[in-house]
Amino acid sequence: MKSFFTCLSIILLIGFSTFSEAKPIKILVFSKTNGFRHKTIPTAITALTSIAKDNNWQLTFTEDSLLFSNYKKLKQYKAVLFLYTTGKILGNEEESAVKEYIEKGGALVTIHTGTDCEQNWDWYMNAIGAKFKNHPKQQQAKFIVIDSTHLSTNKIQKEWMHFDEIYNYTAPVLSDVHVLITVDESTYTGGTMGTLHPIAWYKNISKGHVFQTALGHSDACYTDKDFINHLVGGIKWALK
């Protein structure tokens, strides 16, 4: 009888552990725009939905900024993802909630346009590390992995030819960000940042962290294996 209860306890423990491991990770995906609206948003949503199924992520897609109205609403999410957000997308209370969320250990991932929203919010501009200025026409360029140990870069080529819309910034990227990928301005026309032109980076802020990639302008990016590996790795790093 004792061995029976021992076996039963082990079975229940395994079952409980499996249940715990299967609990999905909640991510809030925000695609509100008050500036240029990218036509890629529906394609990105479809791709992220598929990716989420493979990674046990539970995505909430929204353009309702009221979900950011206080920290209690945000803290249920392991990460917040800004998906092609542009312009002013949050009110003052919502900005305060995001700030509290990040500083208390939350994560922010931005795809392509992270430097082109909330440009008048100083805390966010410092957190994101750069401010969008302009871009030349979409074209192919050589992207160079600076840190191949990061989850967003360890599965992509160290030198990568890729077609995208390449952002210039109003000033050099802040010195306290950790640069992951740069673009070689000699391989395309219209770059204004010089020999160091960061494209993807991360930054730790208090107990939280931010992952920013300027890649991903077009639908075609979501058929590019290197871009998908870069994006998935960046999200996984944010969920660490």
Between CA 9 and CA 48 the distance in angstroms is 39
Task: Lowest mean pLDDT of 12-21, 131-140, 143-152, 200-209, name the range.
Answer: 12-21
By DSSP bridging, strand 79-83 and strand 25-30 are parallel
Q: Calculate mean pLDDT across residues 82-109.
A: 98
- Residue 111: beta bridge partners? 83, 213
Cβ atoms 206, 104 nearer than 8 A: yes
pLDDT single digits (tens) 224-233:
999 999 999 9
Cβ atoms 202, 237 nearer than 8 A: yes
According to the model, what pLDDT value does residue 7 have? Answer: 44
Structure tokens at 142: 């050589």
pLDDT single digits (tens) 141-160:
999 999 999 999 999 999 99
Q: Calculate mean pLDDT across residues 125-142.
A: 98
pLDDT at 14 over 80: no
According to the model, what pLDDT value does residue 1 have? Answer: 53
According to the model, what pLDDT value does residue 21 have? Answer: 65
Which residue ranges form the domains of the chain, and what is each CATH number?
24-238 (3.40.50.880)
Q: Calculate mean pLDDT across residues 116-121.
A: 98
**Pairwise pLDDT comparison (1 vs 183), residue with the higher score:** 183
Scanning the chain, the segments in alpha helix (DSSP H) are: 2-22, 41-55, 71-74, 92-103, 122-128, 225-238
Between CA 229 and CA 152 the distance in angstroms is 7
Q: pLDDT band for 240, please (50, 70, 90 cuts).
A: confident
Cβ atoms 116, 60 nearer than 8 A: no
Q: Calculate mean pLDDT across residues 154-176.
A: 97
- Greatest C-alpha distance within the chain: 78
